[in-house]
Structure 1
Amino acid sequence: MVPFQTVERSSFKTMIRAIDPRYEVPSRKYFTEREMPKLYAELRENVEKELCDLKYFATTTDLWSSRTMEPFLSLTIHYITDDWNLGSRCLQTSYFPAEHTAEEIAQGLKEALESWGFKEERQVCITTDNGTNVVKAASLNDWTRLQCFGHRLHLAIGG
């Protein structure tokens, strides 16, 4: 859980040399261009296999900004397996520089579902906060929407 640039820091290199002077630390580029895409592809394949037979599912979504104010859109799927086990997977958190209009959000959510091969007809509902743009996005997609209990509780307490 550290940035890729860690492998380029002199203190990190010194530590690795102390552990094993023969070990050559791969570059940041090696991790970003080779290992992470490979790891992502393997993980995505495993998740797709796990979810391929779902009959029905629900989703949650949220728009948020990083510490550096970069905008993101997240989509999480929730489901019950044939063995009655509850499951949940964050399908994606995507950079979302588009204007946060209901139309853009609706399209972004449709594209997220489609990119994972999920059919809208099998989505039982989507849970969101009460942001008017997100509420309208669910309506534009003709999706059944549930209000997030956590957001409602926060509002009720006086947040």
Structure 2
Amino acid sequence: MTPNKTRKKCNLCSTVYKFSTSQTNMKKHMKSVHPNIFNEMAQGSSIYDTMLGMRKPLPHENLMINKLILIFLIKTNISFSTIDNSAFKRIFNYANKNIKLWCRQTIKKNLDNVYNLAKNNLIEKLNNHTNLFSITTDIWTANNIMSFCALTFHYINKNWVNINLVLHMIAFPHPHTGDEICKIVLFLLEEFKLKDRILSITHVNGSNEVKAVQLLQKYYQSHYSKILYGYRCLAHIINLIVKVGLNCFEEKLKNIEQIVAKLHSSSKFMQSYKAVSGATKILLAVKTRWNSKYLMISSINKNMNAIQDLVKQGIIGTDITPTPDDCAFFIKKSASNGTNDNS
């Protein structure tokens, strides 16, 4: 039972009813609606007794075990094929050979049910929130060359706490035109019944996203006589400024980038580096990951002694080796601007 100050909710059937300080109502409910579980509880047994072959699990216990496995798959983001793996099955067979595990198809079906339940609960929660929402769009291409669009929404609840949640993430095939971005944003908002409750949208500076926001603003003006405020992402603007600024120090960056590329280009070089550095990582700059260039320079700076050892051994040449001054220049600049390794 899940209690609050005036009501109790059954965890098995979600029945909600009033209760006093006694447990009479709960006992009557369990005895009349869930007699098998009530009898089991009366005998003092629990779901843990099903493990190590102590007894055959009851249907609701078998269901709970499979639900816990489903939660495990969601939390760890591992493949559904894990369920069909003989080593995975052996664990539960050892614990209790009578446990019936769901197959991959049943797991997927129940995953859809869990998603739909969570989605409906979120829609109900948002409908109970009377204020407006702001949204942020994000479009990117993954390593497998598939494109995605995510919609994050933001609001302040009644306790003045800022809430940020990913509303949806969906595959977004080309073309990524302003028209298509506008359509997919409206589609996602309609799916969550939020289309008429949006105050503002934050977006990056790509011409297609700027165009999409202009179309959304026209839509809200014509359909709801509302102003949709559009804001360009400040962090993205700063990142673009930093990229342009780094062009002024191209020569100083050249050797740092070359040594990192060299270490990551061959297992031979990386093995030699790990042998002298104690396996300390050298980070690779990723253009879509903000601040990664600074983190790359910082990792080189911390491991400069190991890199110089490789030079002395003749494993890497001096022509591509940065000097301590090269790294110190950027570290000093970053420190003066308040940047740190955790930014």
Could you tell me the TM-score, scaled by structure 2's length? 0.43
| Helix, strand or coil at the partner of 2:111 | helix
Query: Taking structure 1 as reference, are residues 19 and 155 closer, same or farther at Cα in structure 2, changes over 3 Å only?
Result: farther
In structure 1, runs of 5+ residues without a counterpart are: none
| Helix, strand or coil at the partner of 2:241 | helix
- Name whichever structure is richer in strand by fraction: 1
Whether 1:153 aligns to 2:230 is no
Aligned residue among 133, 140, 144 for 2:229 = 144
In structure 2, runs of 5+ residues without a counterpart are: 1-75, 218-227, 244-286, 288-343
Q: Paired residue for 2:207?
A: 132
Distance in 2, Cα, partners of 1:10 & 1:130: 50
Query: Taking structure 1 as reference, are residues 12 and 63 closer, same or farther at Cα in structure 2, changes over 3 Å only?
Result: same
Per-residue deviation, 1:89? 1.9
Deviations 1:19-45 (A, max 9, x none): 333223211100112x11211122112
- Report matched runs for 1:69-88 at 5 Å: 69-88=145-164
Distance in 2, Cα, partners of 1:104 & 1:135: 12
The total of aligned residue pairs comes to 157
Q: Paired residue for 2:115?
A: 40
Per-residue deviation, 1:153? 2.4
Query: Taking structure 1 as reference, are residues 66 and 6 closer, same or farther at Cα in structure 2, changes over 3 Å only?
Result: farther
| Helix, strand or coil at the partner of 1:91 | strand
Per-residue deviation, 1:98? 4.0
Deviations 1:41-68 (A, max 9, x none): 2211221122113321100011122332
Q: Residue type matched to 2:105 in 1?
A: K
Distance in 1, Cα, partners of 2:163 & 2:144: 32
Deviations 1:102-149 (A, max 9, x none): 1011111011111111134x3221111111111110111114221112
Query: Taking structure 1 as reference, are residues 67 and 16 closer, same or farther at Cα in structure 2, changes over 3 Å only?
Result: farther
Higher relative contact order (CA 8 A, sep 6+): 1
Distance in 2, Cα, partners of 1:54 & 1:69: 40
- Report matched runs for 1:4-153 at 5 Å: 4-33=80-109, 35-52=110-127, 53-120=129-196, 122-142=197-217, 143-153=228-238
Distance in 2, Cα, partners of 1:145 & 1:46: 29
Distance in 2, Cα, partners of 1:146 & 1:11: 52
Structure showing greater Rg? 2
Question: Which is further off, 79-88 or 10-19?
Answer: 10-19
| Helix, strand or coil at the partner of 1:83 | coil
Query: Taking structure 1 as reference, are residues 65 and 18 closer, same or farther at Cα in structure 2, changes over 3 Å only?
Result: farther
| Helix, strand or coil at the partner of 2:145 | coil
- Name whichever structure is richer in helix by fraction: 2
Asked if the contact 1:80–1:86 (Cα under 8 Å) also holds between the matched residues in 2, the reply is: yes
Distance in 1, Cα, partners of 2:87 & 2:233: 45
Q: Residue type matched to 2:205 in 1?
A: N
Could you tell me the TM-score, scaled by structure 1's length? 0.89
Q: CA RMSD in A?
A: 1.7
